[in-house]
Structure 1
Amino acid sequence: MHTKYETHINKIGSSVTEFLDDKMLVLFGENAPAELIDYCLSIKVNQIDSEIKAGDMLQIGDAKYKITSVGEAVEMNLTSLGHITLKFDGLKRPELPGTLYLEDTEIQEVKQGDTLRIYSLA
């Protein structure tokens, strides 16, 4: 296992659950605009160790999800703003540049303090 990115969920916005029906979670660094903070999982902005690719895994707490495709702006946005959307719909071809697409599955509960990690199995 090779960890490509790691951070922690510092705060869970009061309206994060509003996106669960759309199978989405939104990440944003500590500098999220006030009007968005309630809809985001706040994270510490960290650097990516190596390219994020389809087939890699995203882990939040104990829950693991396979990455199916990566929007072209995901890495830049993650390292600059900590702002990306996690979409759990299994898309193989990214539709939006700032979205990380994951297997189509139920989103497990996210807790404050959970580790968020992106890693390759190789």
Structure 2
Amino acid sequence: MTTYYRTALTAVGPDVADLLDGGILILFAEGAPPELAEVSVLHRVEQGPTAEAPPVGATITIGELSAKLTAIGGYAWAKVAEIGHVVINFDGGTETNRPGEISASRVEAPDLLAAIKPGAVLTISA
């Protein structure tokens, strides 16, 4: 099994719950500008990202929650590597809304809300 990315969630912005309700998770590396931190989950990378993007079908886990990647935008992995930022849509889409985003299988909003908390670890592996 290859671990493409492993990061620890360190802070949850005050507006994150509203976005998670719609299945949208915005990750930003620690040190994000305050206006972005309000809508983001801040994190600290523990491993990766790998040079190559994970394949569709890779597993994303957040604590005990897991989903499958269903689409990866053309710029998404580069954004993860360069600035620690990515938008993950838990919408099951086979195409991303924007080239800098990732889509994953659908997750119920209450389950997503429960998983996103400081100290949780997000891992992408296949």
Q: Give percent identity, aligned residues only.
A: 29
Task: Select between 45-54 and 4-13 the one with higher mean Cα deviation.
Answer: 45-54
Counterpart of 2:86 in structure 1 is: 84
User: What CA distance in whole angstroms lies between the structure 2 residues aligned with 1:5 and 1:105?
Assistant: 20
In the other structure, the counterpart of 1:67 is 69
In structure 2, the residue matched to 1:118 is 124
Matches within 5 A, 1:11-26: 11-26=11-26
Give, in angstroms, the shift of residue 94 of structure 1.
Answer: 2.0
- The answer to whether the 8 Å contact 1:10/1:44 transfers is yes
Amino acid at match of 2:81: T
1:71-110 CA distances to partner (integer Å, 9 max, x unpaired)?
1111111111111111011111222112110012214221
| Runs of 5+ unmatched residues, structure 2 | none
Whether the aligned pair in 2 keeps the contact of 1:31 and 1:81 (CA below 8 Å) is no
Higher helix share: 2
Distance in 2, matches of 1:31 and 1:77, equals 15
- Note the aligned Cα RMSD (angstroms): 1.4
Letter paired with 1:99: E
4+ residue stretches of structure 1 with deviation over 4 A?
none
Q: How many equivalent residue pairs?
A: 120
The TM-score, its normalising length taken from structure 1, stands at 0.90
TM-score by length of 2: 0.88
CA distance in 1, matches of 2:28, 2:7: 11
User: What one-letter code is carried by the residue in structure 2 that aligns with 1:115?
Assistant: V
Counterpart-to-counterpart distance in 2, 1:98 and 1:53: 15
